[in-house]
Amino acid sequence: MNADYVIVGAGSGGSAVAYRLAESGKTVVVVEYGGSDAGPFIQMPGALSYPMNMARYDWGMQTEPEPHLDNRRLATPRGKVIGGSSSINGMVYVRGHARDYDHWAEQGADGWSYADVLPYFKRLEHWHGAQDAGTDTSWRGTDGPLHISRGKRENILFDAFIEAGGQAGYPLTRDYNGEQQEGFGAMEATVHKGERWSAAKAYLRPALKSKKVKLLRGLAARVIIENGRARGVELADGKRVMANAEVILAASSINTPKLLMLSGIGPAAHLAEHGIEVIADRPGVGGNLQDHLELYLQYATKEPISLFKYWNLWGKAYVGARWLLTGTGPGATNQFESCGFIRSAAGIDYPDIQYHFLPIAVRYDGQASAEGHGFQAHVGPMRSKSRGTVRLKSADPSAAPEIRFNYMSHPDDWAEFRAAIRLTREIMEQPAMAQHIKHEIQPGAAVADDAALDDFIREHVESAYHPCGTARMGRRDDPQAVVDSHGQVIGVEGLRVADSSIFPRITNGNLNGPSILVGEKMADHILGRTPLAPSNLEPWINPNWQVSQR
């Protein structure tokens, strides 16, 4: 089997690349180990806690024992299905902050400043939020493949949370994905007409319909490299798929570095341990691993106003039946409909704490609080200084890699999390929220001093499932860089990476939007096109950031 291009991974980055290559007339084979995304658990936004806990759709990976979290092993879900993690995620759409991309450019990712990436965000978006946000669409795209919408905020707690942020002295933002991220406002989601709008729907299916793209089920075992050039991909069953032009890896920030190492690209000593011939000694492969951690602060409500009324057999049956029959109701939203981005201290120039607000007190695994009616605010720092690694456990391609995030290994992480908890409590004390609160469920009012908060963090902190950074983009003379600013693997011809592995540093917020951006922009580099013209729009930075926390 052969094509102009072979892409490994049918997730956010890979699907976007496949779509753009097909659009330009190229032939593509996409290698994907996972299966179909058909079925209500993936397609119904309100069922989001199910697919990431189902072996059918998730790779089922977990970390090594994390030494700073009492040696807990944390789940590391990654989508094993067409659409990749965009088919099992929480559907929240966040571009990241303008400063994130300017930092990328400063770190050697030339051509990836905010001015450079904004036109690509606009190209990928089909934004439905203009009516809610106001009519200024100069920051947003309105005819791209990815549908982005806002929930109706029918539950009174959504707007109460936004109002409380304003009462606490924070700015309000009409569109955190537009000119001003900082502040409280409506959250956006990759939901369209009551259904999850994954990369499979936005990009892969249209690409397959063009007949230029073929989907091949199989486990990629290694990149075939001859005389320093990638020629194709070998599958675990021995099949080979050859590329006339290039091979593109978009297998996730966990599986892409694994595949690079299995192919002889990575830290030489580590590859030698596993008997793998070194083709390119790139010490940065599998390093620089980053993630967002979060806690949820849970509160019991005085009145029965939360989604808990549906948290029983009859309620779930009603939600499911209504969604199946009409595409409406609580099942038609991910329930993350309001949010906040704030700065934790004066002297920080752009937000470093994110909130997702949810009008029910429930864990990611679907376990509701024993308290009954309540709500929760997911909160976490955005730019942890901790760094981890992805390493091979074995040269067997079917073996899971060794994942070590080294969560909370930097002392600043603890101070940032304590600040996040205390700032959240202050927001909840504002009149708009306080009127609804019976008491704090978790951590509980008694958990107040630094030591008690640290114990709570150590025991309860969870991944927000935003791993990235393991094949860092940078200049070719940077020994820790894995790919250059065009996604080309340094030291091998004809091989690129187009997923969240390339992030030099994690972006503010959820990573699905930035991962699709990478696929969109890399497609132009692959095709040798002149990049879209940079934007001259100036994002809002709080004018008092040097002297004021809000």
DSSP letters for 41-82 = HHH-GGGTTTGGG-TTTB--EEPSPBGGGTTBPPEE--B-BT
pLDDT at 308 over 70: yes
The answer to whether the CB of 103 falls within 8 A of the CB of 518 is no
pLDDT at 129: 93
> In whole angstroms, what is the distance from residue 200 CA to residue 15 CA?
7
The answer to whether the CB of 102 falls within 8 A of the CB of 57 is no
Q: What DSSP assignment string belongs to 129-143? A: -HHHH-S--TTS-BS
Whether residue 550 is contained in a domain is answered as no
> What are the binding residues?
81, 89-92
> In whole angstroms, what is the distance from residue 491 CA to residue 180 CA?
40
Average pLDDT over residues 142-161: 97
Predicted confidence (pLDDT) per residue in 280-292, tens digit: 999 999 999 999 9
CB atoms within 10 A of CB 540: 15
> In whole angstroms, what is the distance from residue 67 CA to residue 458 CA?
10
Whether residue 23 is contained in a domain is answered as yes
Predicted confidence (pLDDT) per residue in 179-196, tens digit: 999 999 999 999 999 999
Q: How confident is the model at residue 137 (pLDDT cuts 50, 70, 90)?
A: confident
pLDDT at 43 over 80: yes
pLDDT at 135: 67
Predicted confidence (pLDDT) per residue in 508-523, tens digit: 999 999 999 999 999 9
Q: Hey, which residues does 421 pair with through a beta bridge? A: none
Range of the domain at 439: 2-527
pLDDT at 480 over 90: yes
Whether residue 540 is contained in a domain is answered as no
Q: How confident is the model at residue 170 (pLDDT cuts 50, 70, 90)?
A: very high
> In whole angstroms, what is the distance from residue 30 CA to residue 8 CA?
6
Average pLDDT over residues 33-57: 94
* pTM beyond cutoff 0.95: yes
The CATH number of residue 232's host domain is: 3.50.50.60
Predicted confidence (pLDDT) per residue in 449-463, tens digit: 999 999 999 999 999
pLDDT at 370 over 90: no
Cα dihedral 187→190→194→199 (10° resolution): -170
> In whole angstroms, what is the distance from residue 274 CA to residue 396 CA?
9
Q: How confident is the model at residue 99 (pLDDT cuts 50, 70, 90)?
A: very high
Instruction: Tally the domains of the chain.
Output: 1
What length does the chain have?
Answer: 550
Q: How confident is the model at residue 227 (pLDDT cuts 50, 70, 90)?
A: very high
25: its two tokens: 């007339």
Mean pLDDT of the chain: 97
Strands 265-266 and 280-281, sheet pairing: parallel
pLDDT at 364: 66
Average pLDDT over residues 240-262: 98
Q: What DSSP assignment string belongs to 167-227? A: HTTPPB-S-TTTT--SEEEE-EESEETTEE--HIIIIIHHHHHTTSEEEEE--EEEEEEET
pLDDT at 362: 84
pLDDT at 367 over 70: yes
> What are the binding residues for FAD?
81, 89-92
Whether residue 549 is contained in a domain is answered as no
Active site residues: 466
The answer to whether the CB of 384 falls within 8 A of the CB of 294 is no
Average pLDDT over residues 74-97: 97
Q: How confident is the model at residue 366 (pLDDT cuts 50, 70, 90)?
A: low
- The sign of the CA dihedral 131, 134, 135, 138 is negative
Q: How confident is the model at residue 134 (pLDDT cuts 50, 70, 90)?
A: confident
pLDDT at 341 over 70: yes
pLDDT at 136: 77
